[in-house]
Structure 1
Amino acid sequence: MMNNDKKANQSIQCTVDQCEYHCQNQDYCSLDCIKVGTHEANPTVEECTDCESFQVKQ
């Protein structure tokens, strides 16, 4: 989903500029909300968490 009129959601900071929802000139996400999950059975550090709303930029 390509959206050139992305509005920064200042409640969701993000530095992953490879994501479709990243606001290019700002370190924010353009989604209203995101889903955070994990790839570990027992997460203990931040590296175990993932933004499950991530979509690779087209």
Structure 2
Amino acid sequence: MDKMKVTYEAMLALTAEMVLDEAVLKFQTKQLHHAIDKALADGDEDTFYRLVKQLNELKQ
């Protein structure tokens, strides 16, 4: 019984970590999209390319 409880708790912790990681990824992606849009609107080419690079690295 104790081994099952430990396994269950480990799986629960892993699931929680995966959900948190996905939420952080979505948040960071959304923030980068907004910043890219602003850089485009401002005509800031250097910032645009830097942010696009960050977004591509995040997606890998």
Fold in common (TM above 0.5): no
TM-score by length of 2: 0.19
Highest RCO, 1 vs 2 (Cα 8 Å, sep ≥ 6): 1
